[in-house]
Amino acid sequence: MIASQAELTQQLLNSGLWISSKVNGVFGWGQGFETVISALDSRITQFSEADAATSINFPPILDRSILTRTGYLHSFPELCGSVHSFCGSEHEHQALLTAVEGDADWSPHVKQTDVALTPAVCYPLYPTLSGTLPEDGVLYSLSSYVFRHEPSLDPARLQAFRMRENVRLGNQAQVVAWRQLWMDRALSLLTSLELDVELDIATDPFFGRGGKMMKANQKQDEGKFEILCPITSAEEPTAIASFNYHQSKFSSVFEILLADGELAHSACIGFGLERCALALFSTHGMALETWPAAVRQELGL
């Protein structure tokens, strides 16, 4: 009874919840959809506030050197978005316009800028933390649009989407316990929304042959868990939240130290807000007013 990718997309467009564009994985979002996104965001914020986490909203672009320093181009080169602009003279402008009018590649006429699209919400945070952390480490509640270059017909695979993250830096025991706390919180929240969710160990989509070894290592280290929910397939449920333990990967790059001088450990937990909302619409239908009363109440709708 689960709608296919094409059927779900059509239902979203027909009901005005989504607005189409000519590019796969790029949509506008109507008021009903945004109401659910805001409600989910507020529920997650309640947990962040219980942690007394510091709240930051980042723009959709970041300092490009963060991608190179963290090895993003090594692990996920095909997902990155590098931003290029025209920086030339009036004469060079004519050459750009000739390319544009001939529907040719602009690449020879634009230059790489200092910014790239944000690939995950916690990337711009780490460089701001270089130095020594307070005794009990730090907690952050973050939000941003993120970009993944993976154009797809799957409505749950957008090129630009909102990620709601929480991040913890501290010692290993603090960080691992905090990730477990958020797995419990997320399962509890999503179950209360009457979603058919399950927690599973997972891996990131590391690129190429070398990526296979990185996936194996990540699995062995229990570096990543995901909460999965059927959106357009019962057999291949979609990850709607992830729980990632980085050991000292980011702290070693940006020299983030604990009070005792050791490298900090870090973990981030992220909710894909559009995917969580899609799980709700797919499960409970396109009309908010017909959703189960308990779900509406839990979301404050």
Segment 76 to 115, residues that bind a second copy, using CB under 8 A: 77-88, 90, 93, 96-97, 100-101, 103, 105-107, 110-115
Nearer to a second copy (CB atom), residue 55 or residue 252: 55
Nearer to a second copy (CB atom), residue 60 or residue 187: 60
Instruction: For the CB of residue 173, give the shortest distance to a second copy in the complex, in Å.
Output: 28
Q: Quick check: 74 binds a second copy (CB under 8 A)?
A: yes
Nearer to a second copy (CB atom), residue 17 or residue 193: 17
Residue ranges in 155-174 that form contacts with a second copy under rule CB under 8 A: 158-161
Residue ranges in 37-66 that form contacts with a second copy under rule CB under 8 A: 54-65
Residue ranges in 245-284 that form contacts with a second copy under rule CB under 8 A: none
Instruction: For the CB of residue 287, give the shortest distance to a second copy in the complex, in Å.
Output: 17
Q: Under rule CB under 8 A, how many of the chain's residues touch a second copy?
A: 71
Q: For a second copy, what does the binding mask look like between residues 207 and 226, x meaning CB under 8 A?
A: xxx-----------------
Instruction: For the CB of residue 110, give the shortest distance to a second copy in the complex, in Å.
Output: 5
Rounded Cα distance between 233 and 278, Å, is 13
Residue ranges in 111-150 that form contacts with a second copy under rule CB under 8 A: 111-115, 117, 124-125, 127-128, 145, 147, 149
CA-CA distances (angstroms) from residue 136 to 34, 140, 170, 260?
36, 13, 7, 11
DSSP string, 107-169: GGG-EEEEEEE-SSTTTTTGGGG-EE--TT-EEEEEEEEEE-----S-TT--SEEEEEEEEEE
CB 224 within 8 A of CB 203: yes
Neighbours of 124 (CB within 10 A): 18
Rounded Cα distance between 118 and 145, Å, is 7
CB 166 within 8 A of CB 48: yes
Q: Quick check: 73 binds a second copy (CB under 8 A)?
A: yes
| Angle between helical axes of 5-14 and 273-284 (0-180°, round to 10) | 90
Provide the β-strand partners of residue 55.
Answer: 141
Residue ranges in 4-33 that form contacts with a second copy under rule CB under 8 A: 19-23, 26-31
